[in-house]
């Protein structure tokens, strides 16, 4: 099936508010990865005991053929993929491909994009409840007046996208079903971004941030739920290594912030974090299950 056929099929999924049967809403965990998932054991612990409340989708490099054991939650979860280049529109193509595949399952209500360097910060029950009960999606979107924000706007996008429309945000998003359908069925904005948002403009940092402001501003919280550290500057965030992973560090990521959730204040602002080096798996497996309360 071509991307065009896939997006068309996903966009035709009815925008149902009430279902004529008892439906348990699921969270779709969509992993955008080059190849293997170094934190698969951690995610296996996270998902254990919660069958029926989640689904998993993997977009890996087309030449990645490895398959985990049949007992794994990642077994045969790869979707048909295409090559992805950092900073190119192919990155957003992959994100939309993941969304479209996940939309074909009517039970999926929330959709979260993750990478191979992401880890969960809470147990499944907390993550599920936080997402399913949220009144908003979590797409980072803000007006950045700097050269790395408004300075990336291409006047050739006018009049479809104006400078006042232009937004920036994190690539790592979470959306509810209504907004996911808007993204895969967008016939207006994405072609303009593919043609005119070229380096130093990065589609994955601007397309969704701009789109949600146009099609569903009241549906979005304007923040991401995936924590990253940009304090060192540069085009990539900090990568955490083995020595960085301590109980205090993880506690700070879980509870060191305040944000708005459903109109009130909350200390649960980030449900996931990145970028973690594969060497952190061992300390994470020692600390996280007890600290995060896995299997609860």
266 inside domain: no
CATH code of the domain in which 13 resides: 3.90.550
pLDDT exceeds cutoff 60 at 175: yes
Output the pLDDT for position 233.
75
Predicted confidence at residue 9, as pLDDT, reads 72
Using CB atoms within 10 Å of the CB of residue 174, give its burial: 0 to 12 exposed, 13 to 18 middle, 19+ buried: buried
The helix-helix angle for 203-215 and 177-184 (nearest 10°) equals 120
196-214 pLDDT per residue, tens: 999 999 999 999 999 999 9
255 inside domain: no
> Among residues 61, 95, 111, which one has the least CA distance to residue 193?
95
The answer to whether residue 294 is domain-embedded is no
- Kindly report, residue by residue over 29-52, the tens digit of the pLDDT: 999 999 999 999 999 999 999 999
Tell me if 98 is assigned to some domain. yes
H-only helix segments in 77-168: 90-103, 124-132
User: In the predicted model, what is the mean pLDDT of the chain?
Assistant: 93
* Residue 12 reports pLDDT greater than 90: no
Residue 256: predicted pLDDT:
85
Lowest mean pLDDT among 103-107, 122-126, 275-279: 103-107
Number of domains in the chain: 1
How many residues are listed for the chain in this entry?
A: 296
- Please report whether residue 293 resides in a domain: no
Residue 289 inside a domain? The answer is no
Is residue 253 pLDDT above 70, yes or no? yes
Identify which of 87, 65, 91, 85 has the alpha carbon closest to the alpha carbon of residue 76. Answer: 65
Calculate the alpha carbon distances from 244 to 168, 249, 280, 283, 288 in Å. Answer: 29, 8, 8, 10, 14
**Using 50, 70 and 90 to split pLDDT, how confident is the model at 10?**
confident
pLDDT of residue 60: 96
Alpha helices in 185-280 (DSSP H): 189-196, 203-215, 247-255
Cα 46-49-55 angle, rounded to 5 deg: 70
pLDDT greater than 90 at residue 284:
yes
Distance, in Å, from the CA atom of 157 to the CA atom of 163, rounded to the nearest integer, reads: 9
| In-domain check, residue 234 | no
pLDDT at site 296: 54
Q: Could you identify the residue written with the tokens 């991401």?
A: 224
Distance CA 187, CA 256 (A): 40
Provide the pLDDT for residue 86: 86
Task: Give the domain range for residue 17.
Answer: 3-224
pLDDT attached to residue 46: 97
Rounded to an integer, what distance in angstroms lies between the CA atom of residue 243 and that of residue 249?
11
Is 49 part of any domain?
yes
pLDDT-based confidence at residue 5 (cuts at 50, 70, 90): confident
How is residue 209 written in tokens?
């941030």
pLDDT (tens digit per residue) in 119-133 = 999 999 999 999 999
Q: Which pLDDT does position 21 carry in this prediction?
A: 61
What is residue 14's predicted lDDT score, i.e. its pLDDT?
A: 58
| Confidence (pLDDT) at 15 | 63
- More confident site: 217 or 56: 56
- Other C-beta atoms lying within 10 Å of the C-beta of residue 88: 17
Q: Does 232 or 89 have the greater pLDDT score?
A: 89
pLDDT greater than 60 at residue 258: yes
- Specify the higher pLDDT residue, 57 or 12: 57
Report the share of the chain in percent with pLDDT over 70: 96
Q: What is the pLDDT of residue 177?
A: 94
pLDDT-derived band at 92, boundaries 50, 70, 90: very high
């Amino acid at each position: 099936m071509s991307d065009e056929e896939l997006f068309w099929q996903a966009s035709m999924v009815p925008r149902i508010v009430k279902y004529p049967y008892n439906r348990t809403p699921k969270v779709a965990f969509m992993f955008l990865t080059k190849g293997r998932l170094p934190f698969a054991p951690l995610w296996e612990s996270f998902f254990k005991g919660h069958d029926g409340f989640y689904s998993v989708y993997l977009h890996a490099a087309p030449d990645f053929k490895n398959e985990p054991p049949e007992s794994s939650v990642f077994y045969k979860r790869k979707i048909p993929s295409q090559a992805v280049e950092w900073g190119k529109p192919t990155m957003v193509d992959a994100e939309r491909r993941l969304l479209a595949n996940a939309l074909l399952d009517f039970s999926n209500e929330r959709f979260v994009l993750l990478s191979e360097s992401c880890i969960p910060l809470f147990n499944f029950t907390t993550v599920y409840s936080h997402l399913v009960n949220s009144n908003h999606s979590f797409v980072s979107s803000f007006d950045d007046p700097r050269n790395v924000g408004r300075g990336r706007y291409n006047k050739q996008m006018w009049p479809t996208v104006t400078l006042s429309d232009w937004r920036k945000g994190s690539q790592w998003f979470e959306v509810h079903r209504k907004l996911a359908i808007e993204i895969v069925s967008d016939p207006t904005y994405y072609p303009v971004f593919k043609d005119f948002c070229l380096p130093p403009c990065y589609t994955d940092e601007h397309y969704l941030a701009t789109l949600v402001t146009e099609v569903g501003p009241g549906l979005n919280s304007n923040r991401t739920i995936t924590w990253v550290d940009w304090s060192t500057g540069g085009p990539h965030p900090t990568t955490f290594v083995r020595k960085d992973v301590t109980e205090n560090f993880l506690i700070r990521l879980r509870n060191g912030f305040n944000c708005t959730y459903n109109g009130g204040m909350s200390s649960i602002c980030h449900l996931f974090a990145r970028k973690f080096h594969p060497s952190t798996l061992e300390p994470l497996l020692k600390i996280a299950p007890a600290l995060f309360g896995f299997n609860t």
